[in-house]
Amino acid sequence: MTDPASPHELTAYALSLGIAVCGEDNGMPLLTVEFGPTVEGRPGHFHGGATAGLLETAGYAALRTALLAAGRDPQLKPINITVQYLAAGKSRPTFALGRITRLGRRNANIAVEAWQDDRERPIATAVMNILMV
Amino acid sequence: MNTPPARFDAREASKWFFRHGHTGWLGLRFADQGDNWVELELPWREDLLGDSNRPVLASGPIISLMDMASGMAIWQTSGSFNPVATLDLRVDYQRPARDRASVRGRVECYRRTRSAAFVRGIAHDGDHDDPVAHVAGVFMTIGADLRAENPAFNRNNGND
C-alpha cells in the first residue's frame, strides 16, 4: 500500500482520522492529530490503534520526503511495523515525526516518535520496514 | 441490555464497545469467539483507503482492528474486563487485502502471567490459511502489580 507521491499529501484514511501536516522538522513533515471521537479508546484517552495510525502515517511521510529529495518515486509496500507504547495518550493533540534510519535501494528502515506536551517524553515509538519496488 | 453477564463475553461486549470512539468510527463488528480468542471484522470503506490508486484498506485501521481484537481476546481468556495497556504490538504484512475486501482479525491470548498477557493472531480477508498479516503483542494488566517500574503502571496508562 503506498501513499500518494507528494509527502504532504495524506491518504484518505489519514485525512478521515483527522491527521494533518503542521510543520517541518529536520526537513521531515511534522504530523498532528487533535483529540476527538475518531481517536478515542478508553474514555479521555487515545486508542492504541489511532496512535499507531499516526505513527505509520508520519513514517510514510518521512520516507516520501527523503525519496523526493533523492529524485525517486517508487511504489511503497509495508513489510512490518513494531509499536512500543510508553505512556497513555491523553485528551490533547498528539504529534509525530519520522526519521530515516536507513534508505536502501529496495528497503527502508524508519523510526517514528509520537508525543504530546513534552517532546522528550514520547507516548509511543515505532520502527517500520518498507519495501520499495 | 439487561443484566450484564458475570463472565466477560466478547459478543455481548461488542454491542457497546463499538458504539463510540475510535472503534465505532472504524465500524468494527463482532465476528466470532472461542475460549481464548476473538475475531472481529473491519468492513471495507472508501474513506479508510491507504492508496489513491487501489481500493484497498490502509494498514493503520488493520493495526486498530488487531489491537482491539487483542484486548478482547485477553478479556475473553481471563473472563473479566480488567483494563489492559498495550506495551508492544508487531504487525508483519504478508500481502495487501483484496480490492474492496473487508478484513477480519483473529487474535488468541496464548499466555497470561500475573501482570502480562501475550497474544498472537492473523488478519485475513476470507481465508485463514492465506493471511493479510500476522501480529504478536504484549499487554500489561493495569494496576496488577504496584511494584512494577513500568511507566504504563505508574501513570495509570492504557491504550484501549
Q: What is the pLDDT of residues B70-105, one digit of tens each?
A: 999 999 999 998 889 999 999 999 998 898 899 999
Q: Find the mean pLDDT for residues A36-41.
A: 96
* Contact criterion met (CB below 8 Å) for B66 and B135: yes
* Termini Cα distance of chain B: 22
CA–CA dist A52, A86 (Å, integer): 12
Yes or no: is domain A12-132 CATH 3.40.50.720?
A: no
**Domains of chain B, earliest start first:** 10-154 (3.10.129.10)
Query: Across chain B, what does the average pLDDT equal?
Result: 87
Residues of A in Cβ contact (< 8 Å) with B54 = 1
Q: Which of A2, A47, A88 sits opposite B22 (nearest CB)?
A: A47
Q: Which of A1, A84, A88 sits opposite B50 (nearest CB)?
A: A1
Residue of B137, B67, B138, B53 whose CA lies nearest to B105: B67
- The alpha carbon of B158 is separated from its chain's Cα centroid by a whole number of angstroms, namely 14
ipTM: 0.92
CB contact under 8 A, A84 and B156: no
| Chain B residue whose CA is closest to A129 | B92
Say yes or no: A52 contacts chain B, CB-CB below 8 A.
yes
- pTM reported for the whole predicted model: 0.89
* Termini Cα distance of chain A: 11
Low pLDDT (below 70) residues in chain B: 1-5, 143-160
Q: Which of residues 91-130 of A touch B (CB under 8 A)?
A: none
- If residue A51 lies in a helix (H) or strand (E), which one and from where to where? helix A48-69
CB pairs under 8 A between A and B: 154
Say yes or no: A48 contacts chain B, CB-CB below 8 A.
yes
CB contact under 8 A, B63 and A78: no
